[in-house]
Amino acid sequence: MKNILIYSILCFIAVLPVSAQKFYKDAINITNASLWQQGESLYINMQIDMRNLKVSNDRTLTLTPVLAGPNNNVALPEIVINGRRRQKAYLRAMALDKTTNMEIPYNTEEVLTYTQIVPYESWMENAHLDLEENLCGCGGHQEVLTQEMIMNGVSTEAKRLAALRPTSSFIQPKAEVVKARSEQYEAHLDFPVGKSVILPDFMNNQTELRNIREMFNKIQNDKKLTVTGVYIDGFASPEGPLKLNEQLSKSRAEALKKYLSTQEQIPTKLYNVSFGGENWEGLVQALEISNLKEKTEFLHIIRNTSDIALRKEEIKRVGGGIPYRTMLKELYPALRKVNCRIDYTIANFKVDEGKEIIKTQPQYLSLNEMYLVANSYPKGSDDFISVFDIAVRMYPNDEVANLNAAAVALSKKDLTDARKYLDKSNKQTAEYANNNGVYNLLSGNTAQAISEFTKAAQNGNEDARHNLAEIEKVMNMKRE
């Protein structure tokens, strides 16, 4: 006969409580059932109220808790309730049989706190707890009434860790004293050979000039912006004498300055003109993406011949000069360009202003202004999250923007985006270590998460200290 477990100590009814369930003709109530894994042990706990139970004089009711899985079953110590006459016979048998290890059955006038500890095995993660009810009578009569489920689901350390909501860290970006920005346009103006006068109706000049004017007008007409400088840099294609090309690149830049100063309302003193001379860098880039068979030979000459005049002669001789003539026609025109850049400053905005501007002109806000706007909303709200998503789109290579975007992604348990943003963050900060710890915890790598949190905590990160404390609660959580 199995030993009968009878515990009078109070035990902690942990997570996964089950409201009162009725068993055996609704005469037995089971409450506060739990299956709790801690370390290498599984704790089974429940309270069994049998005060309404009546067992016939000659009958014995045996209740056997069973831990059941898809391919495994473990029968736990049973509880025996005897009828009045069966109880007397039981006591006589116990008195006569000195070798039998028998215990007094459960007294139904009390509420039993049933606790059992068994070695934990991996299959138990998805196990459920059943109650097998057997009723026996005189003459060896036995009737198996039923096996009913008490509860389903084991609270494992892994599940409890996964249920944690670790705290991610944010960094407040530094405020910009002056919000300096710039817009640049690469104008491919067409000039007659050897000329530097801008002819608006010549070839594609009308379109190019219109694009430049639109850039100027957008900035000039926005009262939030103040122009601080206009920079024009001219280039020439590398055919013909070097000195002539240098002069052409300069005079073409001056021509654009003259044209713009008469068209736009920007003071002449804000213009800065320079010349880049022959556009060899542009030629290299054009060759690298071209389909010319001789491009490798051309690139070798450009990169290994420092004498410009000799370089031009060698280029002309490749393939008898035919490839060079192709370059003159297909690649060289785009090298005769003028770069135009407008520098400007943006006004600073208060939070209420920023909340409106971010909807239509987010590029006007600094990262610090976006951070303040985000934190004017409840943390974790849709508006809070949206601002940090906008920030990383506006500043895709900024380490702080990426760190904060990673924190938002982690709050949504979006591990793919979180990893992408973390990889573009400053890995030397305590905030990165904490957020990397959150990433590892959500990925199921608890040991690495603890290591990262510890590193961050040692560097003063309060979020990491909180996360470590939460993990410790789970790892050391005992059933009282």
Question: What's the pLDDT score for residue 328?
Answer: 94
What is the pLDDT at residue 427?
Answer: 97
CA distance 59 to 87: 9
Amino acid residing at 207 = T
State the fold for domain 366-476. Answer: 1.25.40
Are 71 and 158 in contact, with CB atoms under 8 Å apart? no
Residue 188 near residue 334 (C-beta atoms within 8 A): yes
- Give the tokens for residue 277: 């001379």
- Show me where the domains of the chain are located: 21-155, 179-344, 366-476
pLDDT at 14: 33
Q: 351: closest CA among 366, 339, 334?
A: 366
pTM: 0.69
Instruction: Mark the ranges of the chain whose per-residue pLDDT is less than 70.
Output: 1-20, 97-109, 137-145, 477-480
* Topology of the domain covering 21-155: Immunoglobulin-like (2.60.40)
CA–CA distance from 162 to each of 283, 406, 438, 445, 449 (Å)? 56, 19, 11, 10, 12
For the domain made up of 179-344, the CATH class stated in words is: alpha beta
Write down the pLDDT at residue 137. Answer: 59
Predicted local confidence at residue 100, as pLDDT: 47
pLDDT tens-place string over residues 304-342: 999 999 999 999 999 999 999 999 999 998 898 888 999
Domain 179-344 in the same topology as domain 21-155 = no
Torsion from C-alpha of 194, 198, 199, 203, nearest 10 degrees: 70
Of residues 375, 353, 352, 376, the one with CA closest to residue 364: 353
pLDDT of residue 382: 95
Residue 143 pLDDT: 62
Q: What is the pLDDT of residues 122-132, one digit of tens each?
A: 999 989 999 98
Residue 252 CA to residue 233 CA, distance in Å, equals: 9
Q: Are 49 and 29 in contact (CB under 8 A)?
A: yes
